[in-house]
Amino acid sequence: MNENMNYIGKGPNGYYEVLNMIVETARDLQLQGIVNKKIGKMPVIIHDLEYS
């Protein structure tokens, strides 16, 4: 996305980029200890309906 929050990524609907943002956000939350502080030690599992 650009500075105006307009989609500029690859693919027809930006799935790849959105998935990568979700993965990075989940990783950051775990590394910063936010997940552990809020809900305890727990893995974060991300998948779609096709289990890519």
- Judge contact between 29 and 21, C-beta under 8 A: no
Report which residue type is found at 24.
Answer: E
Structure confidence by residue, pLDDT tens digits, 1-36 = 677 776 666 655 777 778 888 889 988 988 899 888
pTM: 0.57
HSE, CB side, 13 Å, CA atoms: give it for residue 48. Answer: 9
Structure confidence by residue, pLDDT tens digits, 32-48 = 998 888 888 878 787 76
- Judge contact between 44 and 29, C-beta under 8 A: yes
Q: Residue 49: what pLDDT? A: 63
Determine the Cα–Cα distance for residues 40 and 38; give it in Å rounded to an integer: 6
